[in-house]
Structure 1
Amino acid sequence: MLRLWFFPHPLSPAVLAAMTCLTPLAVAMAQGVAVDTPSTSTTPAQAGGNGLTQPSSAPETMTVTARLDRARLQLQPSTGATVHAFSRKALETIPGGDNAGLNSVLLQAPGVAQDSYGQIHVRGDHNEVQFRLDGVQLPEGMNVFGQTLMTRFADNLSLTTGALPVEYGFLQAGVVDITTKNGATNKGGNISVYGGARDYFFPSAQYGGQYGKWDYFLTADYVHDRVGIENTTPSFNAPHDLSNQYHFLGHLRYTVDENTRISLIAGVSNAQYQLPNIGGQPLFGDNYSSLLPHAPQSGDLNERQKEITDFGILSLQKDIGAFSLQTSVFSRYSSLGYSPDPNGGDLAYMGISQHAERSVMSTGAQSDVTWRVRPDHTIRFGFQVFAERNITKADATVFDARDQMVNIHTGNGRTGDIYGLYAQDEWRPLRNVTLNYGLRFDGVGEYTDEHQLSPRINVVWRAWKGATLHAGYSRYFTPPPFEVVGGTDLRQFATTSGAAPSGGSGTVRAERDHYFDAGIEQVLMPGWRVSFDAYYKLAHNLIDEGQFGAPIILSGFNYRRGQVNGYEFATSYDHGPLSLYGNMAWSRAIGKDITSAQFNFASGDLAYISQHWVHLDHDQRWTASAGGAYTFFYRTGHPTRLSATMVYGSGLRQDTDVPNGGVVPQYATFNMALVQSFRDLFHSPFFRTTQLRLDVTNLFDHPYMLRSGTGIGVGAPQYGLRRTILTGISQDF
């Protein structure tokens, strides 16, 4: 049993061939990843041919699917970057399996820190993580709590970090590339029911198939629980924390011929959340008890938030001799709505009660082309362009200077665009050296109008047997999030209880970085790998985000200067039914002088930060994760798999006598899973594998804090999930 393909670099074809748990198609597809990923021992030119080996009895459609899948991977190599790969078996082995959120999966990678609202921070950045489906980048959305993309939709996925090649733009702390399931390799259906503690109820279904040149895959689920948002107290159950979520994802493909394929991916997510309360909070003003005599206690507030996301991607993939291309058009609509306490609770405790709505509509195109000029030269070029429309509306109730209740309506809309062009050459000057260099031109015309020409270069050296060294430099340009708050709202709230802490309203600008990365990977013996990686980022106009006010809506701001640096160590071992992995990372992220959206901050904090370096609120010095799995009876029709994972964090930042001067307490959580599978349990050609599972989150019920409620741009306190026991049954057919 393979626990986790969780290495800084993909596996070599020789190691993959030895893993008998993989199907021939999975091996072939994984070989495609390996030859395309720079950190492996071979490049596409070094691999000695582009064909995939298939059993003579394999269906022709399977061969075509595998070849086109590999051709798509070759469009976007990661030469010189660090790739952490999660196979389908790895996703199933993590406690929760397909029921686990993507953030839970990504926390198993080095340098990924856990935060509230399901957020993750990769290598000391805030939310600069881009998501791709089959190589197509999705525009940013408004999601804060929800997981629009479901783990069960992924056939495999990878997290790429480091000095990225030029095809990756806009969000560059990490690239999460999801290879979606399809009907050719996932025929049949599955029905699952999962649930347990805290009213957790999670039914799901999926179905895939093939009809001639068409193949399709569909999955849908419904989530009902009382842990939608992190608890604001260390108690076992969170007050007022009900959530209901609906998700649907579908994939339809048509293979025109062996060199041409058209695909459509569509998704819908609808989520509604109650916001947990904090009891015993003081009123906003001394006289508010007389102004609002019927206001509820702070522990009885009824605040709610709703998030909706819809997206679609239409792609054409084509091979023409020495050229391979994929061109796509896509659209994403994302909205967020906040409803305050209907009995005036927000006004009593925060001085403002507002119905707030934001939405972003993004439409765009992406094209990537590979030109195999010579065996030692591969040229790649392409572009990305997004056209976006942002709408913000709010109806607020506040008290004016005479303690009279007044209503204020605010709203604005803005249309803008983001674009990027790139070209690069992957060159093999020596048999064991690969050089990838290129230029990228990016621009943004939204709240700010800026552009930049960015050079990038990476080198990979197979220095000795089993060793791969890599180093790179990348110039980055990161546009600001489009959902920033316009400063025109400030004047309307002046002299009211909803007035901003200060009056500055500088425009949020694009971040510009110099990024350096170097590392080494060594195969010590078959199945055992170790790696070390170091990075340093020097930023101008470093972008951070924070929650300001009751609606849990993140808004962006800039530090004039920023520095992020760190180190990562990872190791993994896989042999037969046993697999183990572990990693540890050290990071430091600091900034100086807030130069935009200053109205969100107290004047004293602004004055201090203008003269002193401060830790970013999401700066976590030490991050670690580890896991293991063993499959009993793995050669039989009734294997039993036992797995466990651990996540450690030294703590995010909190305020002391200086902003972000302290650290919340460190923590370590342990999760476990027991999965029993039965193949052909009902002795029926209709029913296939039956699976029973038991998952325990936070096995030792250790209360731990993610956020203390203080810090730059930090909202309410947030505590991690207490021990939760969940069970499930799924049936393949």
Structure 2
Amino acid sequence: MPDRIHNVVKYASLAASFAVVLTLTPAGAAGQTPAAGQSAGADATVFELDAVVATAARLDEARLSIQPSLGASVYTFSPEALRTIPQGENAPLNQILLQAPGVAQDSFGQVHIRGDHANVQFRINGVQLPEGLSVFGQALQTRFANSMSLLTGALPAQYGFQTAGVLDIQTKTGITNPGLAYSIYGGGFGWLQPSVEYGGRNGAVDWYVSGDYLQNNRGIENPASTFNALHDATRQLHGFAYLSGVLDPDTRVSMIGGAFDGRFQIPNNPGQVPQLGLNVNGLSTFNSSALNENQSESTQFGILSLQKRIDLNNWGDINLQASAFVRNSALGFAPDSLGDLLFNGVTPYARRSNLAEGAQIDASWRINDSHTLRFGLLGQLERTAYNTTSFVLPVDDAGAQTSAVPFGIVDNGSKFGWLGGLYLQDEWRIAPTLTLNYGLRADAVNQYTNEGQISPRVNIVWKPLEGTVFHAGYSRYFVPPPFELVSPTSVALFVNTTAAPSVTQDSIVKAERSNYFDVGFSQVVMPHLTVNLDGYYKQAVNLLDEGQFGAPIILTAFNYANANVGGATFSIAYDDGPLSVYANAAYSRALGTNIVSAQFNFAPDELAYIAQHYIHLDHDQTWTGSGGAAYTFNMGTKYRTKVSIDAVAQSGLRASTDNVPNGASLPAYATFNASVVQKLDLGLEQAAELRFDVLNLGDAIYEIRDGTGVGVGASQYGLRRTFLAGLSQRF
């Protein structure tokens, strides 16, 4: 069933794009752009180019109006902000997000928003993408983003499933970014990152494509505090394409496609000695510096959308976007055949894959000046497969090894499932200064777990004075477990082997249900200076968390029976002319008790303690901070120079003590990145751009993880001081 649907989406996308080009390309003038006011052909829709640009801009605004942020906390990265941050468009998404309030850094490129482990929703032009399997590589790139907004807090009813934060990416188009651009970027740690972009328009059709290649010797965080890591090379490819056609002043069809492929060496921690006392074919020792573990990741996604404005005359108008989407991802782990067995008691060759496809419809109906009704639905079909061959050694009932010859255990499986949600909400403007947004969501999931929930949402926004905004909201959340990260292990297969777990219980991972409260205000203190303060509290049942268990760096989901998460965020920003300055600070406290699923991954004493006590979640970070400043010299000239600096400060993630899981906090740290970007006039129509970046300016040695904690694998240290430079030219 999923394969047939996948093919329907794929071929429908191709057919639609072909139809758009045939319909909108001027007859007899393929590849030519008519001048303003010139006819595009007797049988084709006639547009003036200025009218096409205006229509596209109006449809962009209409699409944004479908997605309300009323009552939520919104942090926006403008096009200028994305170019200003050190590394610019070469910066990975997680580094961008760290500049938002309440975002904490973790290993493997992960971030935590407001005390949640993951649970981040990614949208491209309003379309929600299914989750994927990528751990190290990020399938979505900053390069193709024209702007981004991070929504957090008590979200309106439109936003379901992943609710810790919603990252909404508005893509570049052939209208916003016309022309051809090349860039070469690189520097320390063998860093090389060439990229290309191309945008254009032919009549009412516009397109944008981008691609980049990345290689360096710091693909994953170093498990040791040394400057250079052992066995840590990565090779990554990213590609993105956007195609859009305006059919008439009220209709647009668009296609989006993207792909990522990454190869990663798992870095080694020198000086480690096998502690299990095993013998494999006469060998009992191994040099940890010589381990050869590797992981591969790939993701492909596609979106086909129809955007339509429907005029209801005296009954207002409806703005609608209907989309079909598909996402395929795969992850493979290749162990060291001898080393993994001696160090861990198992050598797992593991592969997971996940195919998700579905449809999303969102609409807004502005009935009158007082009421705007929004409604929509999302349905998703998903198939996940896991294939693992584990080489182990036999042991007796007392755990003593009985043979030095390893043998393989095959544990394969697959599962088909679905999830769906629909919502209805009303934005009621009670008074010019007072707005109430209220609605309901109905969500259901039938995967490893079969559950559903009806969730009320309500937000109120009050603007008592010019520049002053108060908001308060409540949201009932229903978060299904990440289907691609749930793969029930046949624990019985590993009895009397070196991979036998101490705990054999493996309860199914459940959906998280929570009550979320949020209150805050925003104040324009003076022109160009704004401050924001926000407080939140979440009470959760079956709170979802994820951990790394064993050698493959594949995250596994599990539940805490009860949890409480709360905190506050503060931000201040000034932006005027050549100078921009911002600073963020956040406090968070996340506690959970009683692990009630996937229990075989944990030690018996760990489970027993957590069953009787609330503990800090492993990703709980008490304080986070970020900030930055940028100044442009010679602004408004072809030779302008922009200097910027940003900083991230973290109080430290959790580590376990001898007596308490996650009972300690790692040392606090702060890092600074700096950048200089110089425009150059090389005699071409557009100026070239030369940039120089320094990451971790002070060469701080800081530990993100120390290898202890609930669901934590190896230790990881942050990137040391790195010098990078690049040159780009647009034609």
TM superposition score normalised by structure 1? 0.91
The equivalent residue for 1:676 is: 678
The equivalent residue for 1:337 is: 332
Q: Which amino acid aligns with 1:313?
A: I
2:293 is equivalent to residue 303 of structure 1: yes
* 1:315 aligned to which of 305, 318, 343: 305
Residues 67-466 of structure 1 aligned to structure 2 (within 5 Å): 67-288=58-279, 291-292=282-283, 296-321=286-311, 322-342=317-337, 344-401=338-395, 402-403=402-403, 404-466=405-467
Query: How far apart, in 1, do the equivalents of 2:234 and 2:489 lie?
Result: 34
The offset of 1:58, in angstroms, is: 8.3
The offset of 1:316, in angstroms, is: 0.2
Aligned-residue CA RMSD (Å): 1.1
Q: Which amino acid aligns with 1:319?
A: R
SS state at 1:59 partner: helix
Query: How far apart, in 1, do the equivalents of 2:321 and 2:488 lie?
Result: 41
The offset of 1:684, in angstroms, is: 3.4
Query: How far apart, in 2, do the equivalents of 1:561 and 1:220 lie?
Result: 44
Change (3 A) 1:674 1:373: same
Question: Are 1:358 and 1:391, in contact at CA under 8 Å, matched by a contact in 2?
Answer: yes
Change (3 A) 1:646 1:464: same
Consecutive unaligned residues in structure 2, runs of 5 or more: 1-47, 312-316, 396-401
The offset of 1:689, in angstroms, is: 1.9
Query: How far apart, in 2, do the equivalents of 1:100 and 1:488 lie?
Result: 37
SS state at 1:65 partner: helix
Query: How far apart, in 2, do the equivalents of 1:676 and 1:119 lie?
Result: 32
Question: Are 1:626 and 1:646, in contact at CA under 8 Å, matched by a contact in 2?
Answer: yes
Question: Are 2:278 and 2:342, in contact at CA under 8 Å, matched by a contact in 1?
Answer: no
Q: Which amino acid aligns with 1:360?
A: N
> For each residue in 1:403-455, what CA deviation from the matched residue of structure 2 results, as whole angstroms up to 9, or x when unmatched?
34211011000000010000000001111001000000000000000000000
Question: Are 1:283 and 1:289, in contact at CA under 8 Å, matched by a contact in 2?
Answer: no
Residues 550-589 of structure 1 aligned to structure 2 (within 5 Å): 550-589=551-590
Query: How far apart, in 2, do the equivalents of 1:215 and 1:58 lie?
Result: 11
Q: Which amino acid aligns with 1:132?
A: R
Question: Are 2:707 and 2:715, in contact at CA under 8 Å, matched by a contact in 1?
Answer: yes
Query: How far apart, in 2, do the equivalents of 1:225 and 1:711 lie?
Result: 29
The equivalent residue for 1:702 is: 700
The offset of 1:290, in angstroms, is: 6.8
Question: Are 2:638 and 2:687, in contact at CA under 8 Å, matched by a contact in 1?
Answer: no
Q: Which amino acid aligns with 1:670?
A: F
The offset of 1:289, in angstroms, is: 7.1
Question: Are 1:653 and 1:661, in contact at CA under 8 Å, matched by a contact in 2?
Answer: yes
SS state at 2:547 partner: strand
SS state at 2:223 partner: coil
SS state at 1:237 partner: coil
Question: Are 1:471 and 1:518, in contact at CA under 8 Å, matched by a contact in 2?
Answer: yes
Q: Which amino acid aligns with 2:347?
A: S
Query: How far apart, in 2, do the equivalents of 1:599 and 1:634 lie?
Result: 61
The equivalent residue for 1:491 is: 492
SS state at 2:176 partner: coil
The offset of 1:494, in angstroms, is: 1.3
SS state at 1:552 partner: coil
Query: How far apart, in 2, do the equivalents of 1:315 and 1:413 lie?
Result: 30
SS state at 1:63 partner: helix
Q: Which amino acid aligns with 1:89?
A: E
Query: How far apart, in 1, do the equivalents of 2:373 and 2:725 lie?
Result: 50
The offset of 1:286, in angstroms, is: 1.9
> For each residue in 1:292-351, what CA deviation from the matched residue of structure 2 results, as whole angstroms up to 9, or x when unmatched?
35x641111000000000010000000001111000000000000000014x11111111
Query: How far apart, in 2, do the equivalents of 1:400 and 1:166 lie?
Result: 54
Question: Are 1:581 and 1:626, in contact at CA under 8 Å, matched by a contact in 2?
Answer: yes
Change (3 A) 1:239 1:66: same
The offset of 1:121, in angstroms, is: 0.1
Question: Are 2:426 and 2:439, in contact at CA under 8 Å, matched by a contact in 1?
Answer: yes
Query: How far apart, in 1, do the equivalents of 2:687 and 2:613 lie?
Result: 60
The offset of 1:484, in angstroms, is: 3.7
Query: How far apart, in 2, do the equivalents of 1:500 and 1:84 lie?
Result: 44
Query: How far apart, in 2, do the equivalents of 1:366 and 1:171 lie?
Result: 15
Query: How far apart, in 2, do the equivalents of 1:289 and 1:426 lie?
Result: 67
> For each residue in 1:512-542, what CA deviation from the matched residue of structure 2 results, as whole angstroms up to 9, or x when unmatched?
0000000011001110001100000000000
Query: How far apart, in 2, do the equivalents of 1:317 and 1:485 lie?
Result: 35
Q: Which amino acid aligns with 1:665?
A: P
> For each residue in 1:135-160, what CA deviation from the matched residue of structure 2 results, as whole angstroms up to 9, or x when unmatched?
00000000100111110100000100
The offset of 1:280, in angstroms, is: 2.1
Query: How far apart, in 1, do the equivalents of 2:49 and 2:160 lie?
Result: 38
The offset of 1:284, in angstroms, is: 4.2
Change (3 A) 1:729 1:596: same
SS state at 2:58 partner: helix
The offset of 1:374, in angstroms, is: 1.1
Query: How far apart, in 2, do the equivalents of 1:246 and 1:290 lie?
Result: 40
Question: Are 1:209 and 1:215, in contact at CA under 8 Å, matched by a contact in 2?
Answer: yes
Question: Are 1:690 and 1:731, in contact at CA under 8 Å, matched by a contact in 2?
Answer: yes
Query: How far apart, in 2, do the equivalents of 1:287 and 1:100 lie?
Result: 44
Query: How far apart, in 2, do the equivalents of 1:484 and 1:113 lie?
Result: 22
Q: Which amino acid aligns with 1:299?
A: S
The equivalent residue for 1:719 is: 717
> For each residue in 1:340-369, what CA deviation from the matched residue of structure 2 results, as whole angstroms up to 9, or x when unmatched?
014x11111111001100011000000001
Residues 39-50 of structure 1 aligned to structure 2 (within 5 Å): none
Query: How far apart, in 2, do the equivalents of 1:179 and 1:206 lie?
Result: 16
The equivalent residue for 2:666 is: 664
Query: How far apart, in 1, do the equivalents of 2:52 and 2:64 lie?
Result: 18
Question: Are 1:483 and 1:555, in contact at CA under 8 Å, matched by a contact in 2?
Answer: no
Query: How far apart, in 2, do the equivalents of 1:102 and 1:484 lie?
Result: 21
> For each residue in 1:40-98, what CA deviation from the matched residue of structure 2 results, as whole angstroms up to 9, or x when unmatched?
xxxxxxxxxxxxxxxxx981111111100000001011110000000111000000000
Query: How far apart, in 1, do the equivalents of 2:705 and 2:369 lie?
Result: 53
SS state at 2:135 partner: coil
Query: How far apart, in 1, do the equivalents of 2:202 and 2:717 lie?
Result: 49
Q: Which amino acid aligns with 2:691?
A: R
The offset of 1:488, in angstroms, is: 4.5
Query: How far apart, in 2, do the equivalents of 1:289 and 1:318 lie?
Result: 65
SS state at 1:617 partner: coil
Question: Are 2:151 and 2:165, in contact at CA under 8 Å, matched by a contact in 1?
Answer: yes
Question: Are 1:281 and 1:349, in contact at CA under 8 Å, matched by a contact in 2?
Answer: no
Query: How far apart, in 2, do the equivalents of 1:521 and 1:431 lie?
Result: 18
The equivalent residue for 1:503 is: 504
Query: How far apart, in 2, do the equivalents of 1:490 and 1:461 lie?
Result: 55
Question: Are 2:132 and 2:328, in contact at CA under 8 Å, matched by a contact in 1?
Answer: yes
SS state at 1:89 partner: helix
The offset of 1:190, in angstroms, is: 0.6
Query: How far apart, in 2, do the equivalents of 1:413 and 1:147 lie?
Result: 25
SS state at 2:342 partner: helix
Consecutive unaligned residues in structure 1, runs of 5 or more: 1-56
